[in-house]
Amino acid sequence: MTEIEAKARIEYLRKTIEHNSKLYYIYDSPEISDYEYDMMFRELQDLEKEYPQFFSPDSPTVRVGGKALEKFEKVTHEVRMGSLLDVFSFDETSAFIEKTDAVLGKECIFSVEPKIDGLSVSLLYENGSLVVGSTRGDGIVGEDVTQNIKTIKSIPLTLPDKLPLLEVRGEVYMPKTSLEKLNQEREELGLPLFANCRNAAAGSLRQLDSKITAKRNLDIFIFNIQRISGKEFDSHTEGLDYLQSQGFKVIRDREKLSGKDAVIDKITRLGEKRYSLPYDIDGVVIKADSITEREIIGENTSTPKWAVAYKFPPERKETTLNSISIQVGRTGVLTPVAELEPVKLAGSTVSRATLHNLDFIRERDIKVKDIVVVQKAGDIIPEIVSVVKEKRKGTELEFNMPNVCPSCGEPVYRDEEEASIRCTNPSCPAQLLKSIEHFASRDAMNIDGMGPSVVKSLIEAGLIHNSSELYYLTKEQIMTLEGFAEKSAENLISAIEKSKKAGLAKLITALGIRNIGEKAAKSLASFAKDIEVLFNSSIEELCTIDDFGEITAESVINFFSHPQTRELIDKLKEAGVETEYVLTKTDDVLSGLTFVLTGTLPTMSRDEASKLIESHGGKTSSSVSKKTDYVVAGSEAGSKLTKAQDLGLKIIDEDGLKSLINGD
C-alpha cells in the first residue's frame, strides 16, 4: 500500500467508524455488527501504527486511552459552573413556579428534564474540535481531564459546524449495567466496591491513566450551552436541538411545560420510571426555557432564580419482617439484622436491613412478623422507617438478644456505656474474620487483593488465625486456595510485603482498637513514636493528646494490657512490620496552624496531604471549627466547605497549601 492509499484508507476508516459510533452510542440504531466495527477499528489502529505521520488527535483510536498523566492540570472556567437551588416537596416546587409566573406577569414556559446523577463536566470546542474537557471542581476552577473525556464514545471529537468557540456542560455517568460488571470484577480482585453509579463515574473519570477510564464504559448527557460564538438561540430547547444536530447526546425525556399541575405531573411520571432507567437520576430540573425571560427573572448570589432542582424523596415500601438474625462484628458487637420478605426498592431487591441494637428495636416497637416500612438511606443503605401497627394480627413476637454469641457460643455482656452487647471471647471466629478484613483494608494496612473472600478462604483453610500470620504466608500456601495461580499468588505476597511499610498510624488503625479511628490513630502514633510506648502509657499521659478523653484513653490502655496484644505485636515486629512513627520533619513553617482537608485533591490523597502538613509542623483536624486556620478544599468538597464558608474561614486549594509551605 502506498502512502497516498494508506492516507485515503485511514481517512475513510475514521469517517466510517465515527459515523457508526454516533449511530450506536447516541441514536441506539446501529447499522453494522459489533464484529464489523471491531475489525475496522483494529485495521485503523494498525495503519496508524504503520503510518504515524497521519496521526490525528481527532482519530477514534484516541478513545482507548493514552499515556498516563502525573497529575491533572487546573482549568479556570470562563463561565461559572454553578449549582441550582434544591427543592424537596411539591409545595416548594409550586411556590417556585408561582413566584416565577408573578415576576413575568404570565405563565412561564419551563424545560422540565431528568437530573442525571453523575459528575458535571465542561467540553470546550474551538473551530469544531474538542480541545479541553474539565471537571466542575468548585464551579470556578476544575481539572483538565481531556484525555479521559476523549475515551467516552458518545462525545464527538469534531463537529460538523466549525464554530469559533462552543462550550457545553454535561453530566458524565456510569450506566447501571456497567457498574454491576465493574463491581463484580472488583469483588473478584478483593477490591472495595463502588456504592453507586455516581461514585463510580467520579472515580473513573479522575483516573490518571486514561486506559483505565476507557475500560469503564462511561457515558454522558449534555444539558446546557455555556458559551458559543457564531450562533444565537432564543431558548434553551432551541440550543439543545442544535447540539443534537451536531452529534451530542443531549438530555432525554425533556418537555416544555407551563403551570404547576403540568410540571408536578411530569415529576411524578419521571419518579415512577426512575428505577427502570438504564442510568441513575436523583431528581428533576425545572428551568425557564426562554433566554430573555431568564434575564428578567434574574439570579441570586450563587444560584439562578429561574431554575430549581426537585430532589426525589427516598422510595418507601411495605414488607414483612420474617426474622431477626445476629451479626458479630470485629470488636465483638452483636448487631441484630432484619431478615425481610424480599422487596424491590430503589432499583434493587432488598432482603435485609440493620436494626442497630436492642434499644433501636424497643424504641420503634419492632416485632418479628411485623409489616414494616423500608427505605434506602441515600438510595444505598436499607433501613426500617416504621412499623405498620394497624396491620398487626396478634401473632407478632417480641425479640430478645441472645445470652451467648451465635458464632462461638461464649457468654455475651451489655456494655453499660453504650447500647451494645458484646461477645466476651477474643478468639471468636466471627470477630477473627471481620478483624482481619479490617486489618487488610485500604484505610488500614492496605493489602491490595486481600478482600473478604480471600480472608475467608485463608481462615477456612487454617492458614491464618490472627492478623500477624498474614506475614508468614507463602506463595505455595496461597496457590492451594481456589482461584489462585502462581502469578496471582505472587501478587498477593508482594502486596503483603509492601504493607509492612504502611507506618505506625496505619498499623494502629489496623489493630481495630475500640474508639480509635484513622484520625485518633494518627494522633496516637505522633504521640508514641514507637508502639512499645503504648504498652506502658497511662490514662493521664494519653489524655494530653488533642481530642483524647478518658473513654478513648481507656480503650487504648485496655487493648495494650491483653497478653494477646503483646503476642500479636511481637509477631508483627518479627515479620518486619514497621512499628515506629517515621516522619521526617522538614521545618516548622506551618507550626501552630490547624488544617481541615475536604474533597479530592488533584495530585495527592488526603493522607499524603496530612503527612505533608505535619512534616512542616502543622496539625490536621477532622472537623471544622472556629479554631481551624485553613480549610484545604478539593473537588467535590461537601459540608465541611459549606461550614467553613459560613464561619468565614480561610479556604485554599492544594496549590495554596504548597504556597504556604513555600512561604509565599
Return residue ranges of the chain for CATH 2.40.50.140. 316-414
> What distance in Å separates the CA atoms of residue 641 and residue 223, rounded to the nearest whole number?
26
159: Cβ contacts below 8 Å, ≥ 6 apart? 125, 128, 129, 166, 246, 247
> What distance in Å separates the CA atoms of residue 469 and residue 466, rounded to the nearest whole number?
6
622: Cβ contacts below 8 Å, ≥ 6 apart? 519, 596
Pick the CATH number of 504-575 from 3.60.20.30, 3.40.220.10, 3.40.50.150, 1.10.150.20: 1.10.150.20
Return the pLDDT at 220. Answer: 96
> What distance in Å separates the CA atoms of residue 141 and residue 144, rounded to the nearest whole number?
10
> What distance in Å separates the CA atoms of residue 143 and residue 138, rounded to the nearest whole number?
10
Q: Which fold has domain 594-661?
A: Rossmann fold (3.40.50)
Q: 528, 480 in Cβ contact below 8 A?
A: no
> What distance in Å separates the CA atoms of residue 561 and residue 579, rounded to the nearest whole number?
17
> What distance in Å separates the CA atoms of residue 166 and residue 160, rounded to the nearest whole number?
12
For residue 34, the SS3 value is: helix
Return residue ranges of the chain for CATH 1.10.150.20. 429-499, 504-575
Return the pLDDT at 190. Answer: 60
> What distance in Å separates the CA atoms of residue 365 and residue 467, rounded to the nearest whole number?
40
DSSP 419: S
Does 287 participate in catalysis according to the annotation? Answer: no
Q: Which fold has domain 316-414?
A: OB fold (Dihydrolipoamide Acetyltransferase, E2P) (2.40.50)
> What distance in Å separates the CA atoms of residue 244 and residue 251, rounded to the nearest whole number?
9
Q: What is the pLDDT of residues 566-582, one digit of tens each?
A: 999 999 999 999 998 87
Return residue ranges of the chain for CATH 3.30.470.30. 85-311
> What distance in Å separates the CA atoms of residue 658 and residue 391, rounded to the nearest whole number?
62
Which of 106, 115, 215, 287 does the annotation list as catalytic?
Answer: 115
- Cell numbers given for 497: 510485603
608: Cβ contacts below 8 Å, ≥ 6 apart? none
Among residues 566, 530, 538, the alpha carbon closest in space to that of 554 is found at 538
> What distance in Å separates the CA atoms of residue 133 and residue 546, rounded to the nearest whole number?
43
594-598 and 630-633 strand pairing: parallel
85-311 is classed CATH 3.30.470.30 = yes
Backbone angles phi, psi at 480, to 5 degrees: -80, -15
- Cell numbers given for 135: 471537571
Report, as ranges of residue numbers, the positions in the chain whose pLDDT lies below 50: none
How many CA atoms lie less than 13 Å away from 622 in the CB half-sphere?
10
3-state secondary structure 372-396: EEEEEECCCEEEEEEECHHHCCCCC
**pTM of the complete model:** 0.59
> What distance in Å separates the CA atoms of residue 432 and residue 435, rounded to the nearest whole number?
5
Q: What is the pLDDT of residues 454-511, one digit of tens each?
A: 998 998 898 998 899 999 999 999 999 988 989 999 999 999 999 999 999 999 999 9
The gap from C-alpha 298 to its chain's centroid, in whole angstroms, comes to 34
Count Cβ atoms below 10 Å from residue 70 Cβ, excluding itself.
Answer: 6
Return the pLDDT at 466. Answer: 87
Return the pLDDT at 57. Answer: 80
3-state secondary structure 243-300: HHHCCCCECCCCEEECCHHHHHHHHHHHHHHHHHCCCCEEEEEEEECEHHHHHHHCEC
Architecture per CATH, 429-499: Orthogonal Bundle (1.10)
- Cell numbers given for 103: 415576576
Q: Looking at the domain that runs over 3-64, which CATH code has it been given?
A: 1.10.287.610
Return the pLDDT at 27. Answer: 65
